[in-house]
Amino acid sequence: MVSIINLASVRAIEDIVGAPVHPLRFRGNLHVEGWPAWHEFDLLDRTLAIGDVRLKVVKRIVRCTAINVDPDTAQRDLAIPPALQRKFSHADCGIYAEVITGGTISAGDAIAAEQAALL
Query: Whole-angstrom Cα distance, residue 46 to residue 26?
Result: 22
115: pLDDT strictly greater than 90: no
Q: What is the rounded distance in angstroms from the CA atom of residue 23 to the CA atom of residue 6?
A: 9
For helices 80-88 and 7-17, angle between their N-to-C axes, nearest 10 degrees: 90
pLDDT per position as a tens digit, 65-102: 999 999 999 999 999 999 999 999 999 999 999 999 99
Give the start-to-end residue ranges of the domains of the chain.
2-103
Rounded to the nearest integer, the mean pLDDT of the chain is: 95
What SS3 state is found at 88?
Answer: helix
42 contacts: CB under 8 Å, gap ≥ 6: none
Residue 116 is predicted with a pLDDT of 64
Q: What does the pLDDT read at residue 118? A: 54
The yes-or-no verdict on residue 3 having pLDDT over 90 is yes
pLDDT tens track for 13-70: 999 999 999 999 999 999 999 999 999 999 999 999 999 999 999 999 999 999 999 9
